Amino acid sequence: MNFSESAWGAIESIYKSILEHPFNQELTKGTLAKERFQFYMKQDSLYLVDFARALAIAASRATDPDDLVLLLDFSKGAIIAERGLHEFYFDFYGIKIDVEKAPGCFTYTNFLISIAKHGSYEESLAALLPCFWIYQEVGLHIHKNSAAKNPYQKWINMYSGEEFQSVVKNAIALTDRVAKDVNDKQLQKMKEAFITSTRLEWLFWDSAYRMENWKP
C-alpha cells in the first residue's frame, strides 16, 4: 500500500464530516447564504497567498530539479487559477478584502508555513496534499449532486474539472514517490501532517459557515 492510500484511509471519517458539514450541504443545494459564501471567499483569498508561499518553501527544499519545478508550478497555479475564480465572484458580489484572517484560516496557514519551514521536506508535502485532494473530492461530490442552476456552479466546476484533477494526480504521485524513500518514523510524521491538514480543512469550512471572528 502506498502512502496516499494509507493516509486517505486514516481520514475517511473526517472527509465524511466535511461532506456532511452544513456549508457543503447547502453549497450543493445552492441554498448557502450569500454572506457565508462571501466570508469564505475572503478567507480563501487570504489563505491562498500563504498556501502558495508554503509550496514555494517546499520547492526550495526539493533535491530533484523536476520536483522543484513541479512545486513551483503548483505555487503559481494556486494563485493564478484561484485568483481568477475569486475575481469573478468578487466582481459579481462586490466583495473587497477588508478583513483579517479568521481563527480557522490563521491556524491553517500558520501550520502550513511552519511545517514547510521547520518540518521535513516529506512532511511538508503531506501537509500540503489535502488542500489539493480534499477539494477535488468535495468538488466531484458536489458536482455529482448539485442542484440545477446552482449559483455557485463556477466554483463547483473548477474543483471538479479535468485540469484540477491533473494537478491533484501529480501532487499525489509526488508525495507517494517521496514517501517510498523514508523510514517508518518519518512515514508516521507524514501521516500525522496529512491528518492535521485534513482536520484544518474541516475547520476552515466550519469557520466560514459560522463567519468566525476573533473574541475578544
pLDDT digits (tens, 9 = 90+) for 115-149: 999 999 999 999 999 999 999 999 999 999 999 99
Residue recorded with cell 503548483: 74
Whole-angstrom distance, CA of residue 23 vs CA of residue 205: 7
Superfamily classification of domain 3-210: Heme oxygenase-like (1.20.910.10)
96 pLDDT higher than 90: no
Q: How far is CA 177 from CA 16, 111, 119, 162, 164, in A?
A: 27, 23, 18, 22, 20
Number of H helices, E strands in the chain: 10, 0
CA separation for the pair 78, 135 (Å, rounded): 12
CA angle 63-64-67, nearest 5°? 115
Residue at grid coordinates 466582481: 91
Is residue 115 within 8 A of residue 123, CB to CB? The reply is: yes
pLDDT > 90 fraction of the chain, expressed in percent and rounded: 77
Q: 103, 90, 105, 67: which is closest to 181 by C-alpha? A: 67
Q: Are 125 and 178 in contact (CB under 8 A)?
A: yes
Name the percent of the chain lying above pLDDT 70: 99
CA distances from 97 to 36, 88, 90 (A): 14, 14, 9
Q: C-alpha grid cell for residue 113?
A: 508555513
Lowest model confidence (mean pLDDT) among 45-54, 85-94, 177-186, 188-197: 85-94
pLDDT of res. 84: 75
